[in-house]
Amino acid sequence: MIAFEHVSLEYRPGRYALKDVSFKLDSGSFTFLTGHSGAGKSSLLRLTARLAIPTNGDIQVGNIVYSRLGKRQEAALRQQMGIVFQDNQLLHDRSVFDNVAFPLIIGGYRFDDIKVRVNAALSKVGLSDKAREQPITLSGGEQQRVGIARAVVARPKLLLADEPTGNLDSEISAEIMQLLMHFNASGVTVLFATHDETLLNAFAYPRLKLAKGELDVAGRSVIERAPAFKGRAANANTRKVHASG
């Protein structure tokens, strides 16, 4: 479950990346996060991953309320998430295997576990035969699949995808989408930021639409009131997006 309660992110006095955003996503849901460039999609994902701290409001992911999170717990929180980036953020000084193994090394997994999990993740994205390669030798789509393998290798409960198909053609985008749907089917909550209308029209998933940093109720989202955080007063502006779309 992801819940935003009156979350604002002010990057300069009076200039908001996000303004008073409230919503709730169920566990195991697949949600598109849409909006034009600069609408605040990346900011919302960064806030969800605790890569940025909201100016106002609070965020809850699962049982974790971010305002009560200690500095040390932030890193542990991110280990429980998978993040896929538009520019894939692969490290080009090491092999595909080592790129995918990186989150597991960070997580302190044993070598035997790392071997099994990396091979399984690469198998899932169809890149077992590329494990020894350097990322630079792979195509854009393959690199993005490596990024996805790295995001899911630690078996996260939440997968955040920031325009993962932004630099890819429609066929490769479909591959990437298929992979994310595959992980969603196994119970992973997916929040997929995109402004690709073709993709949005092809898949009937619920949408969170952002416009100029504010949540837009238009589009295909179905919004209703959501329960407030434990110990906090409910607010009329808190919204919930149904997985039914």
Q: How many residues does the chain have?
A: 245
Whole-angstrom distance, CA of residue 239 vs CA of residue 222? 9
Nearer to other proteins, 52 or 222 (CB): 52
Nearer to other proteins, 25 or 84 (CB): 84
Does 20 participate in binding other proteins (rule CB under 8 A)? no
Which residues, 102 to 121, sit near other proteins by CB under 8 A?
102-108, 111, 114-115, 118-119
SS3 label, residue 83: strand
**56-61/2-12 β-pairing:** antiparallel
Nearer to other proteins, 25 or 177 (CB): 177
Among 39, 131, 152, 210, binds other proteins (CB under 8 A): 131
Does 123 participate in binding other proteins (rule CB under 8 A)? yes
Does 129 participate in binding other proteins (rule CB under 8 A)? yes
131 in Cβ contact with 11 (< 8 Å) = no
152 in Cβ contact with 188 (< 8 Å) = yes
Does 67 participate in binding other proteins (rule CB under 8 A)? no
Nearer to other proteins, 202 or 217 (CB): 202
Among 16, 97, 183, 192, binds other proteins (CB under 8 A): 97
How far CA 147 is from CA of 21, 86, 127, 138, in Å, comes to 29, 9, 11, 12
